[in-house]
Structure formats: structure tokens, C-alpha cells
């Protein structure tokens, strides 16, 4: 089983990972980071395949994939 971690302090809230995740296991959170950006968060439901599309698309290198 794969999972991702999102460094919320690196996230600028562009939402690219939300739109590109084929499993739709990333959503925007309700919170804001120290820089004032709304950050994305991982929905841990066992569906992540570890495809790493999210990590590749993130312009701020905020996502790590574990598999």
C-alpha cells in the first residue's frame, strides 16, 4: 500500500495535485499555512496507488510518495 505526505508549509494551494490525482485522494483542507496559503491534504483511505503523479506535478515539491 502506498501513501503520500504533504508538507503544508511548502504548499502554495495551487490545487494541481487535487485535479491530477487519478484516485481523487487529495483535497484542499480548511486550514491555512504560516504563509497564508490554503494547503492540500491527503485522504487516507487505502486507494493511493503510489503513481507519484501528484509529486511530479507539484511546482513546490511539497509531496513525498511512500510505497
Binding site for ligand SF4 (CB under 6 A): 2, 4, 6, 11-17, 21-23, 25-26, 39-40, 48-54, 57-58, 60, 62-63, 65
The CA distance from 64 to 48, in Å, is 12
Min CB(56)–ligand SF4 separation in Å: 9
Min CB(63)–ligand SF4 separation in Å: 5
Nearest residue (CB) to ligand SF4, 36 versus 48: 48
Kindly state the helix (H) or strand (E) to which residue 3 belongs, with its residue range. Answer: strand 3-6
Is 11 in contact with 1 (CB distance < 8 Å)?
no
Min CB(1)–ligand SF4 separation in Å: 10
* Contacts (Cβ under 8 Å, ≥6 apart) of 35: 9, 12
Amino acid at each position: 500500500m502506498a501513501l503520500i505526505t504533504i508538507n503544508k508549509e511548502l504548499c502554495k494551494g495551487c490545487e494541481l495535485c487535487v485535479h491530477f490525482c487519478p484516485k481523487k485522494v487529495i483535497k484542499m483542507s480548511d486550514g491555512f499555512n504560516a504563509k497564508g496559503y490554503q494547503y492540500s491534504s491527503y485522504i487516507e483511505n487505502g486507494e493511493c496507488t503510489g503513481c507519484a503523479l501528484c509529486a511530479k506535478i507539484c511546482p513546490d515539491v511539497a509531496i513525498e510518495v511512500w510505497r
